[in-house]
Amino acid sequence: MRIVLLGAPGSGKGTQAGLLLEQLGLTHISTGALLRNAVKAGSELGLRAKAILDRGELVSDRVMLGLIEERLQGDDVAGGFILDGYPRNLAQAASLETLLEKLGKPIDVAIQIDVDSELVIRRIAKRAKEEDRSDDTEKTVRKRMKVYQEQTAPVAGYYAERGLLTRVLGDGNKDEVLQRILSVISVGSSSGLQPD
């Protein structure tokens, strides 16, 4: 099973990815972790990414896609993966689709975790307090939500057009949300999904 996990900042993507890994035995592919690991390992792409980050710039889509391609060559992804944090815009979604087709590992399902924006802001404010994170002020969260709505939210439509999108209500505790996700994933089937 190959899953793209979508949702606004604070929607619970990271939490649900962790729970799904336990339930389904998949590999978690996080673009943030990919970047950190590549830089630490000193790989060719890692060195390119480090130079970009050292200049205070965002890593290009091309470099990120290269890191994802490199990661998808690992033996541990043969049983499937959860992609979290990517794609973040329509261009990335199209490039990812092309790459996965080339590798013979197309996405089975894109799961959108839908959460009311005011609930997201409350969740992030609570996380900021618990984890002493100064970057999670209400002002920065609202700005991130605006960027998400403008750039990342359309990715759900991209997958909906391809018949791959399933929406799951993200309200409630983490186990309730997990059960909603599992209810739309048929673990033993060949397609592994029940689109909405």
Please give the positions annotated as active site.
Answer: 13, 88, 127, 133, 144
Indicate the angle between helix axes 44-54 and 61-71, nearest 10 degrees: 150
CA 183 – CA 83 distance, rounded (Å) = 19
Beta bridge partners of 7: 113
**H or E stretch covering 89:** none
Q: Which two three-digit tokens encode residue 196? A: 């909405």
Phi/psi of residue 182, each to 5°?
Answer: -65, -30
Angle at alpha carbon of residue 91, lines to 180 and 138, rounded to 5°: 60
Q: Which two three-digit tokens encode residue 128? A: 């900021």
Q: Which two three-digit tokens encode residue 174? A: 């983490």
